Amino acid sequence: MGLRVGDQLSFERTFTTEDVEMFTKISRDEGDHHLNPDEQGRLVIQGLLTATLPTKIGGDNNVLARTMNFEFLRPVFTTDTICCGVTIEKFEKQDNHRTAIVASFICTNQKEKQVLKGNFAGVIL
């Protein structure tokens, strides 16, 4: 495992109508804003669908999350491209052959506006 404190990781994704439809079926989060397009033909992305960006980065690094904190700052719409930047705040070996990890993240849209920020903590098995 090559992660260290201060490392920055990123992942970018453009959300589609199909993404929202699939997440709606799975989550049953069926708010009108997720089902009916706005005047520009866009749907609002579920907050927890947006939150899959930092969880994808955690998953890529085998993080078993224990806590996750999200602050949703503005709506994300279909066709928005969101970039999630994760910063490793703590990364230390423990006696039980696990590694404790704490990270913070900020997600921004294609207009460089913050849409989501937060942190997560857990272990790497």
Its pTM stands at: 0.88
- The answer as to whether 23 is a domain residue is no
Q: What domain range is 93 assigned to?
A: 8-14+52-124
- The answer as to whether 36 is a domain residue is no
- The answer as to whether 47 is a domain residue is no
Convert the pLDDT of each residue in 99-112 to its tens digit. Answer: 999 999 999 999 99
Convert the pLDDT of each residue in 3-12 to its tens digit. Answer: 899 999 999 9
Place of tokens 């224990």: 66
CATH number assigned to the domain comprising residue 88: 3.10.129.10
The domain tally of the chain equals: 1
- The answer as to whether 117 is a domain residue is yes
